[in-house]
Structure 1
Amino acid sequence: MMWQLLCVLPYLLATTGFVLPSVFSRSSNGPFQATFPGQPESPTHGSDREWNLTPNPNSTHHLIFNSVHGLLQRWPNTLRRNGHSLIPATIPKGTILYHGRADPQMPISPDWVAFDFEHSAILCFRSCHMISLQAKRDLRLVYFDGLSAAKMKDGPLDSQDVLLWGRPRPDKIFSEIERIEALCDWGRPLGLDGFVRMEFHFEAMICNFLDAMEVISSLDLIPLDRSTMPRHLPGVPGTFPKPSPPKLPPGWRGSPPDMRRNGFEAFVTGTWHDRAPGESRVRPDYSGLVTFYDPSLSSLVKARYGKDRLHLRLEGISALDTEQVRNELRTVLTRERDGGSGIDWGSIARVVTERYAGRLEYLRFLLSPNTTFAGPLERAAIARAQLLVMLAPYITTTDVPERLPASANLSWAAPVAQRCATTQTSLIPLDILTPQEARIHAAVENTLHEICRRLVLVWAEFFDVEAADEAGATEATEMTYGQISELMEWLDWSEWVRCEPGCGLGEFCHIPSWPYFDGDDLYNIIPRCISFEGFARESGVSHDGS
């Protein structure tokens, strides 16, 4: 056990992203304003000073938390397309996969398979041979998070490029054969069967079909009519040749399957995996998660500062940091298969977001100046009741301020914040964790720390608000609205991004992304409702992100 603890300790120290308590001041318009003095310091959740620590602006705990929470879910990885995490994963024995092609031959070189028929069918041309495959055994892969199969120059391919070539390579965004062969050459000595990526659906890159897969069926299907597809896609060099008519069997009547509609259906099958459990036919090994959000990768710290997740990239990563990631991934892939703790970190992350996502959003709604109430006292009373819902599991009969106002001395609130922040992690022994799990442990606990810290600060303002006059209730509401808004901005959870109002029958909620962007603005990712028929008619527009 001691050697495991020694392995974990450097990661705990490296991933601590807290500084001395910030100095809060009330601005003229109400919300707290925070400064970030001092150097990183580890919170111990004890005294008033220790629990009320503000996250370091360079902290990546919340980013790692979001990576863990969003693994293999299409919605969050479409929304934040530049992935930063690599994780060992398994496709279980017996899983059915699909490979569409123009001839009936089993691939003899690395190639792609889809998890659903509709996705694979778009690779058929004048003829359509669909090979249905079954995994002979548990397949070992590495999953790249984000929109990691998108042919874009602004970041989705960065983690693959850095692993293979040491830096982002925008000149290779369409070099997919070279990419899959290079990945397989890298992974074979480590016992990998392939890799998993995502664009509008998840895909697997299989290095050796004969070793990993057995054929269930090989069917000569009715081919797709590609005549409605555009001859040129924005950003893709050259012009596609005019498609030949589909090779239809004698006696066929009526239109064949349409390529545009089939492409739309491939997109729809991808949306089946928008939210948890996501693509459940791929099972991630959380004990081996390697991430470029590791704060010890010092060459990436400055590049992250002040940017949102959509614009985070791996440009400028040093050769030393690149090799550190490669070595860590090699270590993860070659250690004993049962070397982890067995803790389901994805489930823990989901528990946290399920508990707080909707309630934080509702609390912000209650505090918003745009929400109508009979008066400030009613608003404050309802907001206080909602806070109690969120904090009641952590407030005991002794957690009461000795004197009012409750915010004058917050030592009484420290135990509440501590219980709240450690509810998911307090009994997990650190010596059973891999270094990668220690990083996730820190991410969970420190994300919860900030949620609970903010809620307790708001609770202190609302503790006696029912006895306040209208001016006092207004002041408390204005101050705390800023607190909750800042917290939600820091957390940046994908649960808060959706189509509003919700979509009707015959529509679905779509985030503009590869390969279906809306015009030339690659950063306009506001979800919108798209009609099934309209999307089926208009799909096929692509962009390379240049």
Structure 2
Amino acid sequence: MFLFGFLTLWSVVHTEVTQIRLADSGEEWNLNVLPNPNSTGHLVFDTISSLLQHWPNTRYHSGHNIVPGIIPTGTLFYHGRGDPHTPTTSEWVATDPEFARLFCDSTDVPCFMHTLVATRPLRVLYFDGSSATKQPDGPIDTQDILTWGAVLPERQTVEWDYKRMHRLCDFGHMLGIDAYVRMQLNFEIMICNFTDGVEITTLSRLQDEPRFPDYAYSFAHSSEWHDAYPGETRIQLDLTHLISLYDVALAPSLISHRVGRDRRAHRVFGIDKRDTEAVIARVRAMSWSPSQSGIDWRTLFQAIRDRYATRLEVLQSTLNATDEDDAARRAFGSLLTTLMPYRLHSAVPPPVGSGNAWAAPVFRLCAETHTSFIGSRESTLTASEKLLLNAARETSREICRTLVGMWAAGALELRSSAKIPGSLVAKWKSEVGRLMDWLGWSVWVKCRPACASEESCHLPGAPFSMEKWNVTEPLCVRLFLPYSGWPDIP
């Protein structure tokens, strides 16, 4: 009776927002057509949604984006070192003092902390992923393109990092680039000139204390401030001119290197010379004037993610319940709720037949809601914005195709029966799992069971867990005394 009540409410209370004729839907809105296995729109969507966030960029450590941005006037940075000298050329700074403090190694070396401030807006390029981690398995690939004109894993070591910074600064000098932003456990900035655009506000000698354990754990704690959206907000990115190596038109040579590989194995290594030159040319031609479209892409992507992330997680959990009838009832209720804005009054299962073409108008409305207006202005968008539009379209489309297909199948069953069969519940479970794996959103990577109130759920990452950093299993750790839970720190 509960399900019949839902169906009655479904057919009565909602208003038809727009009339979408079935004849107009065609093959494009066929609920049975899976996405192209080589499509990358969902990968662009997730990497852009994850920019400047510690958690997803630790999980997917090999970045694929080069993004221009601005550090506003008045932003503070920190530079720790073992002497009181102020650099006059290129050097690293951190956005948080906890990171800068680590560069004072031990009680054998005094610790001097420089606090700097941006005296004007600084132009930066940001490399996503765990891009400050000196490991030859992908995190530095995108930097290598600009540094050496080729990906050279043998140079992705600590010994080459100063040379990399100097080469990047030389590359960016004629382009007006002031600095480069990278992430390890926290965010660092390679300032190209300490005498241009920044000034020292304080130079302090700190107390001589060892790095471990207090400062190391404090550093890890500070990374959590930037775990999730909106991430590190002191860097303002311009998505309208970003470059993505998941752009198949820009780097088609990488398509074959992704075939059959888990996403965590995706990297830029394998890009051919022509594509490398195309990427360099795009960076050299990069505009520093924002697009006139006015589209807030980051907020758009987050709105789509917010709409579905928790609902998909709950739906998956519901379908895993041991009581199959209860799982079916609650899952169908969740589908009705999620699809509420798109369930047109005219979309009713036919009295006979088993196809789902009758639900195509719902699929289309769901898939196009967030992007139809932007699509009508596509000719005014930058090349980067067109990539973002396609990413939003592909991601929304597959989410909606899956959920509408599940709802349509359930509605057909309930047309003549009081319950949904177990075979359909099993199919739903498989479909939700496939969709969530395809999306790959890091928001679903959690500590299970949840951590105690004085613990933090932490994703092991460089630099302290090098033998474990390439995993996706977060740990419950204590980042305050008494410390515990992190295997690589005593």
TM-score exceeds 0.5: yes
Distance 1:139 1:475, change over 3 A: same
Q: Distance in 2 between matches of 1:467 and 1:363?
A: 22
1:95 aligns with 2:75: yes
| Offset of residue 157 of structure 1 | 0.7
Alignment of 1:71-86 (within 5 A): 71-86=51-66
Distance 1:512 1:288, change over 3 A: same
Distance 1:279 1:435, change over 3 A: same
Encode CA deviations 1:418-466: one digit per residue, 9 max, x unaligned: 1111111111111221000100000001100000011111011111444
Q: Distance in 2 between matches of 1:216 and 1:46?
A: 64
Out of 486, 490, 502, the residue aligned to residue 438 of structure 2 is 490
| Offset of residue 472 of structure 1 | 5.0
Distance 1:45 1:538, change over 3 A: farther
* 1:47 alignment counterpart: 25
Distance 1:198 1:536, change over 3 A: farther
Q: Distance in 2 between matches of 1:341 and 1:187?
A: 27
| Offset of residue 167 of structure 1 | 2.7
Out of 311, 318, 332, the residue aligned to residue 366 of structure 1 is 318
Contact 1:48/1:411 (<8 A) preserved: no
Alignment of 1:354-393 (within 5 A): 354-368=306-320, 371-373=321-323, 375-376=324-325, 378-393=326-341
Q: Distance in 2 between matches of 1:104 and 1:432?
A: 52
1:293 aligns with 2:246: yes
1:325 aligns with 2:279: yes
Out of 182, 195, 203, the residue aligned to residue 197 of structure 1 is 182
Contact 2:445/2:472 (<8 A) preserved: no
* 1:305 alignment counterpart: 259
Distance 1:539 1:411, change over 3 A: closer
Out of 225, 230, 236, the residue aligned to residue 272 of structure 1 is 225
Out of 111, 116, 129, the residue aligned to residue 128 of structure 1 is 111
Q: Distance in 1 between matches of 2:78 and 2:420?
A: 64
Q: Distance in 2 between matches of 1:481 and 1:490?
A: 14
| Offset of residue 188 of structure 1 | 0.8
Distance 1:384 1:48, change over 3 A: farther
Out of 369, 372, 383, the residue aligned to residue 423 of structure 1 is 369
SS at match of 1:210: coil
| Offset of residue 48 of structure 1 | 4.3
Contact 1:260/1:539 (<8 A) preserved: no
* 1:344 alignment counterpart: 296
Counterpart of 2:29, as a letter, is W
Q: Distance in 1 between matches of 2:144 and 2:222?
A: 28
Out of 62, 66, 69, the residue aligned to residue 42 of structure 2 is 62
SS at match of 1:84: strand
Task: Report the TM-score when normalising by structure 2.
Answer: 0.89
| Offset of residue 491 of structure 1 | 0.4
- Structure 1 runs of 4+ aligned residues shifted over 6 Å read 536-542
Alignment of 1:243-282 (within 5 A): 258-282=211-235
| Offset of residue 78 of structure 1 | 0.5
1:411 aligns with 2:361: no
Deviates more, 1:102-111 or 1:433-442: 102-111
Q: Distance in 2 between matches of 1:73 and 1:478?
A: 35
Distance 1:484 1:537, change over 3 A: closer
| Offset of residue 133 of structure 1 | 0.8
Q: Distance in 2 between matches of 1:171 and 1:435?
A: 33
Number of equivalences: 458
Q: Distance in 1 between matches of 2:454 and 2:168?
A: 40
Q: Distance in 2 between matches of 1:202 and 1:260?
A: 20
Distance 1:419 1:124, change over 3 A: same
| Offset of residue 471 of structure 1 | 8.2
SS at match of 1:205: strand
SS at match of 1:353: helix
Encode CA deviations 1:122-146: one digit per residue, 9 max, x unaligned: 1124111111111001110000000
* 2:16 alignment counterpart: none
Encode CA deviations 1:183-220: one digit per residue, 9 max, x unaligned: 00011110000100000000111001111101211112
Encode CA deviations 1:1-22: one digit per residue, 9 max, x unaligned: xxxxxxxxxxxxxxxxxxxxxx
Q: Distance in 2 between matches of 1:309 and 1:541?
A: 29
Distance 1:122 1:475, change over 3 A: same
Over aligned residues, Cα RMSD in angstroms?
2.1
Distance 1:394 1:467, change over 3 A: closer
* 1:35 alignment counterpart: none
Contact 1:151/1:514 (<8 A) preserved: no
* 1:444 alignment counterpart: 392
Contact 1:86/1:289 (<8 A) preserved: yes
Structure 1 residues without counterparts, runs of 5 or longer: 1-43, 226-257
| Offset of residue 61 of structure 1 | 0.5
Q: Distance in 2 between matches of 1:403 and 1:109?
A: 76
Counterpart of 2:181, as a letter, is V
1:151 aligns with 2:99: no
Encode CA deviations 1:347-384: one digit per residue, 9 max, x unaligned: 1111111110111111122222xx122x52x3322211
Counterpart of 1:166, as a letter, is G
Q: Distance in 2 between matches of 1:216 and 1:78?
A: 32
Contact 1:510/1:527 (<8 A) preserved: yes
Q: Distance in 2 between matches of 1:441 and 1:535?
A: 45
* 2:167 alignment counterpart: 182
SS at match of 1:140: strand
1:109 aligns with 2:59: no
Q: Distance in 2 between matches of 1:326 and 1:100?
A: 33
Out of 489, 507, 510, the residue aligned to residue 455 of structure 2 is 507
Contact 1:92/1:137 (<8 A) preserved: yes
SS at match of 2:230: coil
Q: Distance in 1 between matches of 2:489 and 2:248?
A: 38
* 1:247 alignment counterpart: none
Q: Distance in 1 between matches of 2:23 and 2:182?
A: 39
Contact 1:508/1:530 (<8 A) preserved: yes
Encode CA deviations 1:61-107: one digit per residue, 9 max, x unaligned: 01100111000010000010010111001111100111111222221
| Offset of residue 402 of structure 1 | 2.9
| Offset of residue 339 of structure 1 | 3.2
Contact 1:263/1:539 (<8 A) preserved: no
SS at match of 1:209: coil
* 2:4 alignment counterpart: none
| Offset of residue 506 of structure 1 | 2.7
| Offset of residue 121 of structure 1 | 0.9
Q: Distance in 1 between matches of 2:283 and 2:23?
A: 33
